[in-house]
Amino acid sequence: MSQNIKKALKIILPLLLGVFLVYYTLSKVSLQNIWGYFIASNYWWILFGVFLGLLSHLSRAYRWRFQLEPMGYNIKFSNSVMAVFAAYLINYTIPRAGEVARATIVSNYENVPFEKGFGTIVAERIADLIVMFFIILVTLFLQFDFIYGFFVEKFDATKILIALSILILSLIIFFRFIKRGKSTLAVKIRTFINGLLEGALSVFKMKKKWAFIFHTLFIWAMYILMFYVTSIAIEDLEGITTGAILIGFIASSFSIAATNGGIGSYPLAVYAAFSIFGIAEEPSIACGWIMWASQTLMIIVFGGLSLIYLPIYNRTSPKT
């Protein structure tokens, strides 16, 4: 398969999957019913959720400057903000192209070499991935009894024990293979894991490492709060539990990687998570659509303005 075909498939397949998932969710709940939830929602909570999302993006832009400063690049906060929003918007068109665009923007307007800018973005993603794993562990700890009870109710206890045993044995074999294997796959995975560890430890070598850690935790706290306050905008979800919020947040976060910006997959992920807690289908899917639509609208507005204003601002503002 040629490289051009592979590149085309990487763009087309997520879009097709997104279209299919949009169709699937609308087959479960009519567009008219979803629109009814949109109309009846408390817009103050939705706007508050958008504000929290905005704060997380501004914090991400500010945090990025801590990574570039040790290399001698003191980029303007305004350029960092516009680069972040432009990257989010571009990711809705071509998956992962936003990261390349973000590094290109600071290369063009702040004279940061592309490879250095892109390297900081990779390190940033590693830090985010570690926080995400931490959130998953905390959720498993807090909701262990519920999750265990759910699986015992749905599946036979003996089968669960067998599955866990197979999983643990598979992990042991996998890590032994990665540690000692000399195949191309083993080397690639080992290199990736070592890169994760190196990227995580590099945070502690920063001059402003505690500020970086604070902003990292702040970003994810805003994400979770955004998810929560938007969910309570829907009257039928009043009194939603902490467990449902955490598991819904985790599921929806992973769904963003499945399609461009979570198109179609985000509402379905929210519904799948909420259904575990016995929450009705209609408000769950509607909640997912409201969350996705409100945050996407914010990205479209600020991302579009950033792309338009970047060349204007940097023509009138001297480079750092």
Q: What is the pLDDT of residue 159?
A: 65
pTM for the structure as a whole: 0.82
Instruction: Say how far apart CA 60 and CA 74 lie, in whole Å.
Output: 15
In the predicted model, is pLDDT for residue 318 greater than 60? no
CA-nearest of 231, 233, 227 to 250 is: 227
Q: Using one digit for the tens of pLDDT, what is the confidence trace for 40-99?
A: 899 999 999 999 999 999 999 999 998 888 778 889 999 999 999 999 999 888 777 888
pLDDT at residue 305 greater than cutoff 90: yes
pLDDT of 180 higher than 80: no
Q: What is the 3-state secondary structure (H, E, C) of the chain?
A: CCHHHHHHHHHHHHHHHHHHHHHHHHHHCCHHHHHHHHHHCCHHHHHHHHHHHHHHHHHHHHHHHHHHHHHCCCCCHHHHHHHHHHHHHHHCCCCCHHHHHHHHHHHHHHCCCHHHHHHHHHHHHHHHHHHHHHHHHHHHHHCHHHHHHHHHHHCCHHHHHHHHHHHHHHHHHHHHHHHHCCCHHHHHHHHHHHHHHHHHHHHHHCCCHHHHHHHHHHHHHHHHHHHHHHHCCCHHHCCCCHHHHHHHHHHHHHHHHHCHHHCCHHHHHHHHHHHHCCCCHHHHHHHHHHHHHHHHHHHHHHHHHHHHHHHHHHHHCCCC
Q: How confident is residue 320, by pLDDT bands cut at 50, 70 and 90? A: very low
User: Does residue 207 contact residue 69 with C-beta atoms inside 8 Å?
Assistant: yes
How confident is the model over 5-34, as pLDDT tens digits? 666 666 666 667 767 777 777 777 777 888
At 65-82, the pLDDT tens digits run 988 887 788 899 999 999
Q: How far apart are CA 231 and CA 291, in angstroms?
A: 8
Query: How do residues 191-234 score in pLDDT, each as one tens digit?
Result: 766 655 665 565 666 777 888 889 999 999 999 999 999 999 99
Say which residues have a Cβ less than 8 Å from residue 4's Cβ, sequence separation at least 6.
none
Alpha carbon distance 282, 28 (integer Å): 8
